[in-house]
Amino acid sequence: MRGKVTVLPAEDGKPLGEVLRRRGYSRRLICRLKQIPLGMSRRGELIRTVDTVSAGDEIVIADTGSSDISASPELCAPVLYEDSEVIVFDKPADMPVHPSIKHQDDTLANLFAARCPGTTFRPVNRLDSRTSGCVITARSQFAASALQGRFGKRYLAVCCGDPGESGEINAPIARERDSIILRCVREDGKQAVTRFRAVARSPLYTLCEVFPLTGRTHQIRVHFAHIGCPLAGDSMYGGDMSDIGRQALHCAEVSFLSPDSGESLSVRAPLPADMRSLLELAGIGCGELTDFA
């Protein structure tokens, strides 16, 4: 994602970090840039996010791609679809998308580096480490730009209790105070909207199709907890851990226009074994989910 940010007159005198966030750079990406030599530079010299910038400054943003990500060919994530511009992986629930201090070589990025050496890792959608399913990965900056904000997602989730036949959860999400990871519903949060439809239920659980209309961190998990039906296995937000060891959430389908052919595509990921076992334990049949069997 190498590029330049030209500081506008309205941004004169502001800290670089504030400017980048206003331009749409996520905190995750900014943190990643801090770890790269000359990740952000001005006139060839390092600039920090706390340094102020002046109108007309050109801030050079380094490539944060796979060039410095180690390849791990032993990792496995099934490929659901592939063309010259896109790969859609079926990410397992025990695989993070990005490397971190605790995960240096066991992520989808490491697998991608082995499969596509020399190609920048550009995931178009991101899943929590313990959420399984479809991850769209662009093979070029062109494909990443073409797909950004132009794809649909359908999740399958098993929640505790009964949320009703269908509904829309419209509740703003904010970072939990004093926590880097936790999120909560709060009036000063960012708008977040999730639609759902119940597919099948038992006395303990309900299987739902879920359609997030926005993309906030932990959105589905926070919203279902907010209405009193946390996801099964989601210890972070109050879900029952009795029958599954991680949040019962799976990105079952993504839809997009192929940057390669212009064709409208829908790519589906089969329901993983642990969620199938959970449904069987609960006595919920998968008859209505033949596309995801």
Q: Which positions are annotated as active-site residues?
A: 128
Say which amino acid occupies 239.
G
Q: Which two tokens mark 199?
A: 């597919």
How many Å apart are CA 240 and CA 245, to the nearest integer? 9
Q: How many CA atoms lie within 13 A of 208 on its CB side?
A: 31
How many Å apart are CA 136 and CA 144, to the nearest integer? 9
Q: How many CA atoms lie within 13 A of 119 on its CB side?
A: 24
Radius of gyration of the chain from Cα atoms? 20
Say which amino acid occupies 255.
S
How many Å apart are CA 208 and CA 199, to the nearest integer? 5
Fill in the DSSP letter of residue 163.
-
E-strand ranges in 182-269 read 183-185, 193-201, 205-212, 249-257, 264-268
How many Å apart are CA 62 and CA 133, to the nearest integer? 30
Answer for the pair 239, 223: CB distance below 8 angstroms, yes or no: no
* Summary count for the chain: helices (H), strands (E): 6, 16
Q: Which two tokens mark 200?
A: 């099948």
